[in-house]
Amino acid sequence: MALPISYNWRNLFVRKLSTALTFIVVTVVVFVLAVLLSFAEGIRASLSSSGSRANILVLKPGSTAEGTSIIIPEEYARLSQTPGVARGPDGRPLISRELYVQTSIPRRGPDAAPANVAVRGVEDTAFAVHDEVRLIEGRLFEPGALEVIVGRAARDRYRNLELGGQIALGRLGNRTCRVVGVFEARGGAFESEIWAPLTLLFDAYARRFVSSVALRLGDPARADQAVAYVNGPAVNLEARLETDYYRELSAKTREIVVLTTILVGIMGVGAAFAVANTMYAAVDGRRREIAMLRTIGFPRSSIMAAFVVESLLICTAACAAGLGLSLLVNGSRQDFLSEATWTVLAYELRVTPRTLIAALATAGCVGLAGAMAPALRAARTGVIDALRKA
């Protein structure tokens, strides 16, 4: 019962300008959708691969991020009794004190706008607790030397963070440190950071406290017990699973997804009108042809289907084009300022299967919504009237 696709396809080229404009509009919608979603996917991917289920992160009660948390030495001392903490080969408990500060570093690229990059002061145990951190270039910093290592994402995104580069740390910016190593951390948030010896930061920032303490557990299943102990009167700090901490930070991505949905929704409505406009013109220009098809026996449904298919052809092609364009930004490094930590998280834009499905669904909806009214008009064409006016 259906008219051949070639019929629909060729008809699209009869009204080249109108078809082209509609194609462009839908392409832009799909492109914006794909880019915004790949932002969200990139951030989500980065944060969801951050942290370990075997770690608990301890902050000052009421703090939601390391940057606003202060843990003084007495409090830290009380943590050593936490039950279930794993021990390293040397028998020491795997408890990592970490100081979290930030420094301003210009981004790579022509604008060189400065970004707040996180600097984490760590001791040896940090590398046992955060065992996903792995050096991929250079070497570890030497205790006591003015040396730092940097995450892979940070190196790619910010200036002077390549091996051998120099950055200024300290309250007065007067400690020039050299980058001696680059690390990765399964794509997680640490890769956006600079890691320095804890003592160096104590000194440079005149601090006596740390921001957070990370504890590695021997048995992740018993995390509840450890968390309860830390939260209880014995320590009186606030503990949570490290993975939960990063999941909370990624709330931002949900915001992006919501905003994306609203924005793309509005654009989609506009695009549907553009499609409808094109299809109305097509229907009105082909009234006699429709009448002829009805005369030789094509039912209304075939006529309707023909115009819906035409609209979907434009929109599918536009979907492919929009996604194709979005692949150009795929993998490029961006960063965003986390509202929770006030530091930047560098991540890769990612076009994922989810983006693909969302783009197809959007283009399909636009195509269907735009085609409905014109296709109905086409199906209702008065055959005799249209023939008579020939």
The site string for other proteins over 261-290 (x = CB under 8 A, - otherwise) reads ---------------------------xx-
Among 200, 293, 346, 369, binds other proteins (CB under 8 A): 293
Reduced to 3 states (helix: H, G, I; strand: E, B; else coil), residue 250 is coil
Specify the length of the chain in residues. 390
Nearest CB to other proteins, comparing residues 189 and 293? 293
Residues 294-323 that bind other proteins (CB under 8 A): 294-300
User: What end-to-end distance do the CA atoms of the chain give, in Å?
Assistant: 26
Nearest CB to other proteins, comparing residues 23 and 141? 23
CA–CA gap between residue 389 and residue 119 (Å, rounded): 78
Question: Should residue 291 be labelled a site residue for other proteins when binding is judged by CB under 8 A?
Answer: yes
Give residue 263's identity as a one-letter amino acid code.
Answer: L
Nearest CB to other proteins, comparing residues 4 and 89? 4
Nearest to 134 by CA among 123, 145, 126, 142: 126
Question: Should residue 82 be labelled a site residue for other proteins when binding is judged by CB under 8 A?
Answer: no
Residues 1-30 that bind other proteins (CB under 8 A): 1-4, 6-7, 10-11, 13-14
Question: Should residue 113 be labelled a site residue for other proteins when binding is judged by CB under 8 A?
Answer: no
Please tell me the count of residues contacting other proteins according to CB under 8 A.
27
Distances (CA, A) of 147 to 190, 194, 198, 200, 301: 17, 10, 11, 9, 74
Q: Which pair of tokens denotes residue 81?
A: 């009794």
Please give the helix or strand (H or E) that residue 212 lies within, else none.
strand 212-216
> CB of 94 within 8 A of CB of 129?
yes
Nearest CB to other proteins, comparing residues 2 and 266? 2
Nearest CB to other proteins, comparing residues 126 and 378? 378
Nearest CB to other proteins, comparing residues 112 and 384? 384
Q: Which pair of tokens denotes residue 135?
A: 């050096």
Burial tier of 123 (Cβ tally within 10 Å: 0-12, 13-18, 19+): middle
Residues 369-388 that bind other proteins (CB under 8 A): 383-384, 387-388
Q: Tell me, what DSSP letter sits at residue 225? A: H
Site residues (CB under 8 A) for other proteins?
Answer: 1-4, 6-7, 10-11, 13-14, 288-289, 291-300, 383-384, 387-388, 390
